[in-house]
Amino acid sequence: MSDRIGFIGLGNMGRGMASNLCRKGFSLTVFDINPVPMEALRQLGARVAAGVSGVAEASDLVITMLPDSAALERVAFGSDGVLERLAAGGLFMDMSTVDPLVTDRVAAEASREGIEFVDAPVGRLAAHAARGESLFMVGADAATFTRVRPLLDAMGTTVHHCGGVGTGIRTKLVNNYLSIVSCAFNAEAVALSQKFGLSLENTLEVIHGTTATNGQLKMAWATKVFRGDTEPGFSIDLAHKDLTLIVNAANALHVPMPIGAIARESFNAARTQGYGAKDFSAMGDLQCELAHVARPRLP
């Protein structure tokens, strides 16, 4: 635990991850534009910096968990950014879900500055992050992966070394594609079942006994929208953002994504209906509203 750790981005995911690092004895300096999670981390023993530069200058290894590509570019490339202020020999680990071409640019500039770079986006939800049960998809060379592994183990339970730099974020986009698109077609299937007048419990029992089942419907929806809980573990706004990243990345490589494009517009339509801040499982509620049937709930 000799590295001094910096953590930038204490949102729904980052706060839980940083909190677990504090609880497990890592020396931590944090920053977020929102003072509330910074105070919570201070109470756990972290030092609070006044900005990105303060984190970078006080750290040997900086972690970022940011909402989008633009935020990563500001934090990485700004005049007070990580790459300007982190000393040569340092390590920059980005855990955000961003455009993989942005990841490539940050990695290339880090290399020019003598800074190691890791992309390690996160699987699972905010509740898992708070419990230290995240899953990580890591892009790094072998030596750098060894350096960050203790941090990842402190924040999660499952670590996949996907390959060299850039493979982590690309694996994350493939994973999120399946996860998000399944929410769109689950919503349509559930709405149809309710319009047919079917029992939700009986219908799910059949689905979960066949190849039609999927993790979103079986695990996530059972504890979220089917229980009336649409507080965002992963919001519709974020789902739309990720599908946009995925479709754009695929288009750049001439990979057709017609289903992804349609699903993205379904999530965009949900945003226009005021659903953007709800959990992405709330697509089920919206589709039932559009079909003029009751929102389905498990007892």
Q: Which CATH number fits the domain that encloses residue 242?
A: 1.10.1040.10
**Which pLDDT does position 125 carry in this prediction?**
85
pLDDT of residue 1: 46
Structure tokens at 33: 């534009």
Euclidean distance between CA atoms 287 and 266, whole angstroms: 10
52 shares its domain with 188: no
Residue 261: inside a domain, yes or no? yes
Burial of 104 per CB tally in 10 Å (0-12, 13-18, 19+): middle
Q: Name the H helices within 156-297.
A: 167-195, 200-207, 215, 221-223, 236-252, 258-272, 283-290
Same domain, 142 and 269: no
Residue 247 pLDDT: 97
172 a catalytic residue: yes
**Which residue stretches of the chain have pLDDT < 70?**
1
Query: Is 188 in the same domain as 151?
Result: no
Residues 187 and 160 in one domain: no
Number of domains composing the chain: 2
Asked whether residue 111 falls in the same domain as residue 258, the answer is: no
Structural domain harbouring 157: 5-165
Q: Residues 24, 172, 224, 241: which is the catalytic one?
A: 172
Domain end, chosen from 122, 149, 165, is at 165
Q: Does 111 share its domain with 219?
A: no
Spatial distance between the Cα atoms of 281 and 220, rounded to a whole number of angstroms: 8
- The answer to whether the Cα torsion of 21, 114, 123, 274 is positive or negative is positive
- For residue 146, the domain's CATH number is 3.40.50.720
pLDDT of residue 230: 97
pTM strictly above 0.85 = yes
